Amino acid sequence: MTITIGNINTSSSTVGNLDALFAPNAVAIIGASDDTRKYGNWIAVQALKGDRPVHLINRTRATVLGRAAAPSVVSVGSQVDLAVIAVPVSGFEEAVDDALAAGARAIVGISAGLGEAGEEGRRLEQRITAKVRAAGARMLGPNCLGVLDHSSGLTLASNEFPVGNIGVISQSGNLALELATLLVDHGMGVSRFASLGNQADLDAADLVDAYATHEGTAAIAVYCEDFRDGRRFARAAARAAAAGKPVVLLTVGATDASVRNAKSHTGAMVSSGIVVEAACRAAKIEQVSSPAQMAHLLQALVRSKVPRGARTAVFADGGGQASVASDSAAAQGLDVVEFPPALQAAVAAELPPTAAVSNPVDVAGGGEQDIMCFARVLDHLTGSADVDATLMSGYFGGYGSYGPELAAREIDAAREMAGSTRAGGGTVVVQTMNWQSAAADTLRDGGIPVYRGIEEAAWALGRLVRRHTEPATGVPELPRPADPLTDTGYYASRRLLSGAGIPFVPAVEVSSKEQLLAAAAGLKFPLVLKALGDEHKSDRGGVILGLQDANSLLAAWHDVQNRLAPPSCSLEEMADLTGAVELLVGVRRDRSFGPIVLVGLGGVFAEILRDVRCALGPVSSAQARDLLLSLRGAALLTGARGRPPVDVDAAADVVARLSELAAAHPEISEIECNPVAATPDRAIALDARIVLD
């Protein structure tokens, strides 16, 4: 079955059925051990806690953990869907052969020392993976920490995980364990866990697809360092989001180390971090920077709903907390709007005369007088057409300490708040200093996220709002490859780009004084002389502007020849840059995510200003326009401080055409036009550079 959502192909699965991995009929632990220092012991102990048949495999021992052990999976004599292999690398291939011969349809490779251990290990891993696939089986790992699925009672990991509805996919065992601990703080837990390991067969995209159709999973948490096919991962995440299972991603690598070999401005400014950000925007993946942020956001995603806008009511039971919450909300881009008179009057009718009701709301002691006022005020806020979301802050959850009667009433209030919010479809996020109280638990159980700190609560609400205000742009499909390029010289590049519809000023390549003068006769002064064969020609005085006549042209020619001795020069008409803004437009091919489109303020200051935005390519003209207008310096394009606005549509057309060209040529590593001059009536490329892979 295939469904189309925007430009996202939502095939029901790209990996096939993984029931053998997550819900096997029986399990074999190859390398099961009594030695408490070994994974074979840890995983066997966990496996035996479940109800399904577990076969302990050990070639040299008749019993393990007080149970009968078999020398091989084949000798078990019955169908075993899943084999977990925890033996030294020297015995890994033999163990895989045994499992496949016994009919295993899934393998979990705990063993290390394969693809991560050098060329010999990579070759061994590739050979084993080919065997697994040829047998119609699938393999998780190797060099992984196991798998579990609480909905099927499968526990094949070295550690226990709390039960819940968050699917976890991780390349780090410790990070997965840390996340599980943080989820417990929020009253949450894990539905499935899979350790990626080397991703020799199953990768992050495969597992996201499998989780997206898992009934017990409400959201998917991914820690991944190597995406393999990044676009496939992004499409899988988009399918999961379309199925109501948002993906939250933690990754690493936002450093210059990944671009040390870049030869152009484009390559130097597109780090792996920027690439992943572009993929996340395309697929509506929620990227975070720590396990704590991941837990905070997961709580909001599974317990609350995406609001229709940013108009936020702040509701507190203290003036100081109301003010701090308002500032925290504003810092996240939330709009703490003043309530209209009718809403103010409705809120005031529920509270003491000293209460603040214009937004933020301060109950001013109303909680002690009538704890149910929280429920009534919240009902007014969530039911108002003038409020998109409510951020509640303060002491709620602590009133029960004043006596048993108030404690019971506080829980009643929490239950009513959660019920009315759920029934009305409102968005409510709560911060309370009493975040581990019975009332707070009642709110969580009823579907309202509760946080300890106001910064965390406001941040989570801001991320919910952005899911509405910043919709996914979609993961673009790549075109069929064109005939590969071989000549990437300046003029060959210009011809290629001109053929793609990107405008340039008239120009002629010259290599002698005679050619220079002949070319000048056919061009319009003033002219520009560029020394070719030097990617940083402007830094070395290889670009001479404003040549008004033949004498100044000859003087410039002799100067360039004496200083730089270029193989040839480009003689070009000088574009009228009155009112122009110089832009950098480029595409870099990422090994995992493919062509990445970059736009930014350009010219000689491109690497200094580093005002850039990226997207997965190719992009449409409309998407390119959005990228340009999202730059920090976008006001220069739209007319800042009396400047005339430039033709943004023409500039966007250049971006789109360059992205389409680059996407059709997978042999291009980097391509850029720097600068592109955007003027009030056009956009024209003033330079071009192509680097082949």
DSSP class per residue in 104-146: -SEEEE---SSGGG-HHHHHHHHHHHHHHHHTT-EEE-SS--E
Put residue 153 in one of left, alpha, beta given phi > 0 → left and psi -120 to 50 → alpha: left
CB burial readout 501-519, b (16+ within 10 A) else e: ebbbbebbbbeeeeebeeb
Q: Name the average pLDDT for the chain.
A: 92
Question: pLDDT by residue (tens digit) across 595-617?
Answer: 999 999 886 666 667 788 999 99
Residue 311 has pLDDT above 80, yes or no: yes
Q: Which of 516, 367, 524 is nearest to 439 (CA)?
A: 367
- Confidence at residue 392, expressed as pLDDT on a 0 to 100 scale: 98
Identify the pLDDT of residue 638: 93
SS3 of 419, please?
Answer: helix
Question: For residue range 111-158, what is the model confidence (pLDDT) as tens digits?
Answer: 999 999 989 999 999 999 999 999 999 999 999 999 999 999 999 998
pLDDT in tens, 258-284: 334 434 444 444 457 888 999 999 999
Specify whether the CB–CB gap between 458 and 334 falls below 8 A: yes
Q: What is the pLDDT of residues 477-498, one digit of tens each?
A: 999 999 999 999 889 999 999 9
Ranges of CATH 3.30.470.20 domains, the chain: 581-692
Q: Output the CA angle 611-612-617, nearest 5 degrees.
A: 170
Sequence ranges of the chain with CATH classification 3.30.1490.20: 506-573
The CATH code of domain 19-158 reads: 3.40.50.720
All CATH 3.40.50.261 domain ranges of the chain, comma separated, are 305-469
Share of the chain above pLDDT 70, in %: 93
- CATH, domain 581-692, list 3.40.50.410, 3.30.470.20, 3.30.450.80, 3.40.50.620: 3.30.470.20
What local confidence, expressed as pLDDT, does residue 272 receive? 76
**Which is it for strands 27-30 and 82-85: parallel, antiparallel or unpaired?**
parallel
List helix spans (H) across 621-647: 621-629, 635-638
Contact 208, 287 (CB under 8 A): no
Region 60-68 average pLDDT: 95
Give the pLDDT confidence score for residue 536 in this predicted structure: 62
Confidence of residue 16 (pLDDT cuts 50, 70, 90): low
| Residue 521 burial (C-beta neighbours within 10 Å; 0-12, 13-18, 19+) | exposed
Other Cβ atoms less than 10 A from the Cβ of 524: the count is 10
Rounded Cα gap, residues 556 and 571, in angstroms: 11
| Cα 628 from Cα 598, distance rounded (Å) | 10
Q: What is the pLDDT of residue 603?
A: 67
Predicted confidence band at 641 (pLDDT cuts at 50, 70, 90)?
confident
420: helix, coil or strand? helix
Other C-beta atoms closer than 10 Å to the C-beta of 214 total: 21
Q: What amino acid occupies position 220?
A: I
Mean predicted confidence (pLDDT) in 172-184: 95
Instruction: Indicate the class that CATH gives domain 506-573.
Output: alpha beta
**CB-count exposure of residue 606 (10 Å: 0-12, 13-18, 19+):** buried
Q: pLDDT grade, residue 366 (50/70/90)?
A: confident
Question: Cα(628)–Cα(648) distance, rounded to whole angstroms?
Answer: 8
- Give 579's pLDDT tier (boundaries 50, 70, 90): confident
pLDDT, mean of residues 11-26 = 75
305-469 fold: Rossmann fold (3.40.50)
Q: What is the mean pLDDT of residues 609-629?
A: 93
Answer yes or no: are the C-beta atoms of 544 and 570 closer than 8 Å.
no
* Nearest CA-CA partner of 474 in 641, 337, 294, 615: 615
CATH 3.40.50.720 residue spans of the chain: 19-158
Whether 427 shows a pLDDT value over 90: the answer reads yes
- CA 69 to mean position of chain CA atoms: 45
d(CA 22, CA 207): 11
* pLDDT band at 104; cut points 50, 70, 90: very high
